[in-house]
Amino acid sequence: MTEDPGDTGGLGIAHDTLADSYRRRPAAPGGRGVPASDPTPARGRIHHGHPPCSHWWLGHTLHDLGRHEEARESWRESLDLLREASLLAPIEGTDYLAQPVPDTPESIRNQL
């Protein structure tokens, strides 16, 4: 995928979809369903329509790839954005991050 300077979110959506497809595909016998290439977008390519969702699902993709610290940072970014938008109370963010793999916040589930 090439980056278009006038792109207002299409590339972010494409990266979200690609990462989600890698996460959902079944693992090969004796291996994980991990792609040969990295499906995760650069930070600047997060879907602009709803960045908290993009960061949230990117966190799950990173976690599935074994990149747990990066996953936690992506989840934290999502929760920070939700708090800034008054869609999440500060204590809720702490509660989510206390979980090994956080439950999906209601405001993100509602975007599905």
Look at residues 43, 24, 112, 38 and name the one whose alpha carbon lies nearest to residue 81. Answer: 43
Cβ proximity of 13 and 47 under 8 Å: yes
- Burial status of residue 83 (CB atoms within 10 A of its CB: 0-12, 13-18, 19 or more): middle
Look at residues 105, 21, 8 and name the one whose alpha carbon lies nearest to residue 61. Answer: 21
The predicted-structure confidence for 52-108, as pLDDT tens digits, reads as follows 888 888 888 888 888 899 999 999 999 999 999 899 998 898 999 999 999 999 998
User: How far does Cα 10 stand from its chain's mean position?
Assistant: 16
